[in-house]
Structure 1
Amino acid sequence: MKLSREDRWLTWWLAACVAVAAAMIAANALGPRYVGISYLPRLFSPLPFAAAMGAWIGLSARGHRREAELCVDLSFYALAMTAMSALTTGAQYTPFAPIDAALARGDAALGWNGPAVLHWTVAHPTLRAFLDRCYFSTDLQLGLAPLAASLAPDRRRRRVLLHAFIYSLLIGTLFYYFFPSSGPAGVYGGPDYGPFQFWTARKFALVHAGRPGATVEGGLIAFPSFHVAWSVLVADAARADRRAFFPALALNVAVIASTVLLGWHFLVDVPAGLALAVASVAAGEYAHRRLN
C-alpha cells in the first residue's frame, strides 16, 4: 500500500488546510476569545474515519484499478469536505473589520443597484422560487461532482476537481479571514431580504460580541463568492460527458445569476468567485500534469 506522488501532494495540501484552521482557532483562543460555533455537523463526524477506511480499501485493492482509484479519490474528497468545515470554523474568528461597505461602493461604481434588483425579483414569485431551488442545489451538486467527473474514461477530471476544490477552499477562506464580508443584507436591510440572509451578517456581530446564538444557517463568506466558484468547478467536472455537461452548465449559470438576483451577494462578488475558480482549475490542471 503506497501513496502516489500526486496523492502525497494532495495530502500535504489537506494538512495545510487543517493547519491553517488550527492556527485561526489558536489565535482566537490566545487573543480575543470570540464565541463561535462548529461548522462540522455531528452527523458528519465519522466522515474522516470513513474516508481513511475508503482510502485504505482503494490502495489495497488488486485487479480492479478503476474502482480502487474511485475509492481513493472519493476518500480525498470527503477529507476535503472535512477540511472545509475546519477552515470555516476557524475563519469565523477573524479579528478584522468587514469590507461590505467597500463592496457596496464597488457595486455603486458599476451602476448596480442590488436592492432594486432584489425588489424586481421578489415581484416575480415564480422566478424567485426557481432561483431559490437553483441556489440551494449547490451542496447537492458538490456531492455529485466527483461522480460526474467519473464519467470520463480516465481519472483526470476527477483529480483536477480535487486539486481545484482544495486550492479554492484554502485561498478563498484565507482571503475572508483578512477581509471578511457578510453580504448585502447587512448593508442595505429591507423587507425583501430573507431571514437567512440577515443571519449571515448577524452571526458576525454575535461572534465578535462574544454572545451565543450563532447558527450555521445563512452561510459565512460573501467575497469571493464560493457559490460562483463551485458552480464553475461542478461544470468543469461535468465536462467528462456531454450529457452531463450541458445540463450542469445551464443549472450553474442559473446558480450564478441567483447569487445577485436573490440578494445573497454583491455584484463584485461574482467576478471574484469566477477568478478564484479559473485560477484553481488552472492550478489543478498544471499540478495533475506535473505529478503524473
Structure 2
Amino acid sequence: MPTTIFNHSCLLLQLLSLFSFASIAFAINCFFYQFPGNNYFPEGSAGIGTSLLLMLAGCRLLLNNNHHLVKILQEILLFYIIMSLIAFTTNAVQFTPFSPIDRYIIAFENQLGISLPGIVSWTNHHPWFKNILGLCYDTLPYQLGFLPLLVIVAGQFEKIRRFFSLLLISSLIGFAIYYFFPTVAPATMYQTDEFAIEQLATGIKFNQLHQHIPPTTIQGGMVAFPSFHTFWAWYCLELMCGWPIAFSLLLIINTLLILSCVLLGWHYPLDILGAFLIIWLSNYLYISCNKYLPSLLRTVFPKLQTR
C-alpha cells in the first residue's frame, strides 16, 4: 500500500487538476465570451468554512495533532474544500462556448429504438411509482452531505480518502465532457407535456446564458451527459460497504435513484451508460495514481523515502 504522504500527494494532484481546469474555463469566459451565469455555491458556504477553520485551529491549540477529534475536523474541512471546489467548477463549466450535442444522442438512441418520451409517459401512467422514484431521486444531496460525515465520525479515514479521490476524478472527467460536449437535457429537446415544467429550466438557463441574458432560474440541474447523479449515487453506496443494513437499504434507494434518472426524464439512457464508464475510468485512474505516483515522487524527491 502507498504511504500516507503519497496518498496525500495523489489527492493534492486531483485537487489541483480540477482547480486548474475550472480556472482555465473561467479565464476563457472572462477574456473572450463574457457570458453571465448562476452562482451554484450554497448560501452560507463562507460562514461554514470560517467556522471549520476556527474549530480546527482551536483543537490544534488545545489537543495533540494526532488526537481523534483533530483528525475528524481535518477530514471535515477537506470535505468542505472538495465540495466547494466542485461548486466552483460547476460555476465555471456553465460558460461552455460549445453547442449542445443532444440531437446526436437522440439520433443514436432512435437508432437503438429507444423513445424517451414513451418511457416518461409510462412512468406518468404509474403515479405511485413515479412518486417513489421522485423521493429516491431527491435523496442524493442528503446522501452527499450526510454519509461522508458519518464515515468521518466513524474514523474510517482510508475509506473517506478513497471517496474524496473518486469524487474529484469523476468530477473532472464529467465536467470536462460537459464543457466540450454540453447538453441541455431531454425536456428541452422533446418539448412534450410528458416532462415536468422544472425540467425545462436546464435548457432555459443554457439558452439565456449563451444569449448573454442573465439566467432567470437556477433550478433544473445542469449536466445531462454524463449523469452525475449516477456516479455520485454509486460512490455514496460504496461508502456504506462494511455496514450491511445501511448498505442494503441504500442499494434499494440508489438503484431506484439511477433508474429514476431516465424514468423521470432527467437523463437520456446514454447518460447512464456514460456514467458507468466514468466509474470504471475513475477507479482505474485512482489505482494508477496510487501505484505510480509514489515511485515518481521517490525519483524526483529522494528524501521523501525517509518520511
- Taking structure 1 as the reference length, what is the TM-score of the superposition? 0.90
Secondary structure at the counterpart of residue 46 of structure 1: helix
Aligned equivalent of 2:111:
109
Larger Rg: 2
1:18 match: 19
Deviates more, 1:77-86 or 1:255-264: 77-86
Q: Distance in 2 between matches of 1:106 and 1:124?
A: 27
1:136-172 CA-to-partner distances (Å, cap 9, x unmatched) read: 1111011123145448774222111010011111111
Please, which moves more after superposition, 113-122 or 68-77?
68-77
CA–CA separation in structure 2 for the residues paired with 1:148 and 1:111:
43
Deviation at 1:209, TM superposition (A): 0.3
SS in structure 1 at match of 2:220: coil
Separation (CA, whole Å) in 1 of partners of 2:253 and 2:6: 35
Select between 66-75 and 35-44 the one with higher mean Cα deviation: 66-75
Which residue does the alignment assign to 2:200? Answer: 198
Instruction: Give the TM-score, by structure 2 length.
Output: 0.86
CA distance in structure 1 between the partners assigned to 2:79 and 2:131 by the alignment: 31
SS in 1 for 2:33: coil
- The aligned amino acid for 2:15 is L
- CA distance in 2 between counterparts of 1:71 and 1:8 reads 20
Amino acid across the alignment from 1:187: M
Are 1:41 and 2:42 matched, yes or no?
A: yes
User: Alpha-carbon deviation of 1:13?
Assistant: 2.4
Between stretches 93-102 and 68-77, larger displacement belongs to 68-77
Q: How does 1:124-203 map to 2 (within 5 A)?
A: 124-150=126-152, 154-203=156-205
CA distance 1:147–1:281, change in 2 (3 Å): farther
- For 1:6, give the aligned amino acid: N
Shift of 1:283: 3.4
**Aligned pair partner of 2:279 in 277, 282, 289:** 277
Indicate the RMSD between aligned Cα atoms, in angstroms: 2.5
CA–CA separation in structure 2 for the residues paired with 1:157 and 1:59: 24
- SS in structure 2 opposite 1:34? coil
Change (3 A) 1:225 1:80: same
Opposite residue 139 of structure 1, the aligned amino acid is P
What amino acid is aligned across from residue 104 of structure 2 in structure 1?
A
2:125 is aligned with what amino acid? A
Given residue 209 of structure 1, which amino acid in structure 2 is its aligned partner?
Q
Could you tell which deviates more after superposition, 62-71 or 183-192? 62-71
**Could you tell me how far 1:53 is from its partner in structure 2?**
4.4
**Paired residues, number:** 290
Structure 1 residue runs of 5 or longer lacking an equivalent are none
Q: 1:46 to 1:5 in 2, by over 3 A?
A: farther
Counterpart CA distance in 1 for 2:290 and 2:69 is 20
- The 2-side partners of 1:25 and 1:56 are apart by 32
Q: Is the 8 A contact 1:36 1:92 kept in 2?
A: yes
The CA deviation at 1:281 is: 3.5
Q: CA deviation at 1:115?
A: 0.2
What is the CA distance between 1:213 and its match in structure 2? 3.1
Q: Is 2:217 the partner of 1:215?
A: yes
Name the CA distance, whole Å, in 2 between partners of 1:141 and 1:256: 14
Question: Could you tell me which amino acid in structure 2 is paired with residue 201 of structure 1?
Answer: G
SS at match of 2:41: coil
- 1:32 and 2:33 correspond: yes
Change (3 A) 1:232 1:240: same
- Matched with 2:255 is 253
- Pairwise CA distance, 1:179: 0.4
Alpha-carbon contact 2:76-2:152 (below 8 Å) kept: no
Unaligned runs of 5+ in 2: 295-306
Distance in 1 separating the partners of 2:42 and 2:67: 33
Aligned-residue sequence identity (percent) comes to: 26
Deviations 1:188-227 (A, max 9, x none): 1111211221000111000000112343211100111000
Distance 2:258 2:159 in 1: 22
Closer/same/farther in 2, CA of residues 196 and 55 from structure 1, 3 Å limit: farther
